[in-house]
Chain A
């Protein structure tokens, strides 16, 4: 069965610092992978998705993610975070259906 793991429940970074959020998946075939963001009081918004092709995917708000088949990972990165990036981030994988990870809460300190 498909599954996705986000090992970090909560991450705190300074404004302007780089960010990497981890995501590992379990699925036998090539997965379809997504990152969503949930700002406080809001629904989820798609940041980016990977289906095939170039393993480095660019998304909105300056985010990117890299698919690494050998590590079963799809980590989300941003070179310099802004205070408005404080939110909860969800990785998701599709096989028969969309399955979400448990989320990583990102706090930004000035």
Chain B
């Protein structure tokens, strides 16, 4: 089974802090994704990566950056956290760059910014 793990289930940070969310997948998948999930808005794509050191902006990249130094690990960075970034963050991976490939999701990190 594919396993996608996220470093924290719950995180509380203060406004202005730099925040790192880590995601690791164990199935040698090419693609990795970061989404945020908010009530009434569903899932919105922040960034994705189709290869090491490659990244593409999603629908809502403002205020975020990403890093993919190794194939299995994809990090989401909030350079200066703000209260409107309080949300559930979901990481996903898929085997190939094909958009039709099934995405496998981690359990999520619930981030609260005070």
Interface residues of A (CB under 8 A from B): 9, 32, 36, 41-46, 49, 51, 90, 94-98, 100-103
Contacts and interface: CB of A to CB of B under 8 A. Distances in A.
A58 B45 CA distance: 27
Contacts of A97: 45, 58, 99
Residue from B42, B90, B105, B108 having most chain A Cβ neighbours under 10 A: B42
B99 A98 contact: yes
B100 interface: yes
28 contacts: A9-B40, A32-B99, A32-B100, A36-B105, A43-B4, A43-B90, A43-B105, A43-B107, A44-B43, A44-B92, A44-B103, A45-B105, A46-B103, A46-B104, A49-B102, A51-B100, A94-B99, A94-B100, A95-B99, A96-B99, A97-B45, A97-B58, A97-B99, A100-B42, A100-B43, A100-B44, A102-B40, A103-B42
